[in-house]
Amino acid sequence: MAFLCGPEGNRFLFSNENKLVEVWWPSSVESIVKKSNNKSVIAESAKVRQLLPPFLRAHAVKNYILDMDSELRQHLEDYWTGHNEVEVCPFVAKYTFALAVKLLLGVRDGTELEKLAVPFVEAAGGIIAVPINIPGTRFNRGVKASNKIREVINGIIAQRRKDLADGTATPTQDLLSHMIVEVDKRNQESDGAPTTDGDMSSDLLGLLIGGYDTINATVVFIMMMLVDHPDVYQKVLKEQMEIAEGKSPGELLTWDDLRKMKYSWNVACEVLRMRPPTVGAFRVAKTTFTYAGFTIPKGWKVNDIFQTVKFLWR
């Protein structure tokens, strides 16, 4: 395995995506986020990424701000207000998961959310576990949990198809609707194996897992850094209070409010620089290439890490 360190290594990897290197996932991912007809999880995920831009651009994010703010206010009321002491990490996890499910799947019903939340932690844990699928192992529990989640998502997809057919849902209201419409169109135009609703449920599970841990870790790291740097905390608090004082009681945040959070955004970016939420981006070399005087043979796994020491090993 080769580790490329620092911003230069990160830039090199991502600028050579699908040229010198391509994404690589451990076998556990294939089992947790499995596809029909022996489809490659990596290849299918590339198709899913093509569906994401309309929901990640700035003009699309504007539509999520009200949901983000209202969900956070309810979360703080339920788990933080009135408590002298709170456990930040698990409470932030509850918020980020509920928000992700709402924005990606349009799920707002508490019972439906609970059906996804209970097995979700086991499924996410199975991805980083040793892939030994025997009863009692963490990986086995992850596989079983992922099957339960897919069953729930399959039901959500079936209901959304009905809603789209009778006009109570629109093709652009969230990622789920957009995915159903675009996948059906792609299936009609392609002669290859069709993408099934089961494949879509696996795709959505992968997006939930991928987005949940990174956002959760980033929020927790930000709060940790604010505790360690009281001077920074005071400046963030001052900026946030100035925005709050310009709002009417109960009025939710807007895009313009977020644009005023320049110092807060700089703090978030600095935390991301100092404490990346993941260990790096695993890739596999498509061909033999040279980086910083080292020859990296075809087939080697390549990862980027933000450290100062550079090293290689097989």
Q: What is the pTM of this model?
A: 0.78
Q: What is the pLDDT of residue 192?
A: 74
Indicate whether 184 belongs to any domain. Answer: yes
Angle separating helix axes 197-228 and 88-105, nearest 10 degrees: 140
Indicate whether 266 belongs to any domain. Answer: no
The number of folded domains in the chain is 1
**Domain holding 177: CATH number?**
1.10.630.10
Q: What is the mean pLDDT of residues 242-265?
A: 94
Cα dist. 57→172, 174, 188, 215 in Å? Answer: 14, 13, 28, 17
Q: What are phi and psi of 283, to 5 degrees?
A: -135, 165
Indicate whether 66 belongs to any domain. Answer: yes
Residue written as token pair 């999520």: 64
pLDDT band at 257 (very low <50, low <70, confident <90, very high): very high
pLDDT band at 312 (very low <50, low <70, confident <90, very high): very low
Q: What is the mean pLDDT of residues 114-139?
A: 85
Indicate whether 142 belongs to any domain. Answer: yes
Indicate whether 105 belongs to any domain. Answer: yes
What is the distance between the alpha carbons of residues 51 and 185, in angstroms, rounded to a whole number? Answer: 12
Identify whether the C-beta of residue 176 lies closer than 8 Å to the C-beta of residue 104. yes
pLDDT tens-digit readout, 57-100: 777 778 889 888 998 998 899 888 888 888 888 888 888 888 88
Q: What is the pLDDT of residue 41?
A: 65
Cα dist. 216→23, 93, 100, 222, 285 in Å? Answer: 23, 6, 11, 10, 30
Indicate whether 306 belongs to any domain. Answer: no
Q: What is the pLDDT of residue 43?
A: 67
Look up the domain containing 50 and give its range.
28-213
Residue written as token pair 């290689």: 312
What is the distance between the alpha carbons of residues 215 and 208, in angstroms, rounded to a whole number? Answer: 11
Indicate whether 303 belongs to any domain. Answer: no
Identify whether the C-beta of residue 209 lies closer than 8 Å to the C-beta of residue 101. no
Q: What is the mean pLDDT of residues 45-55?
A: 72
Indicate whether 23 belongs to any domain. Answer: no
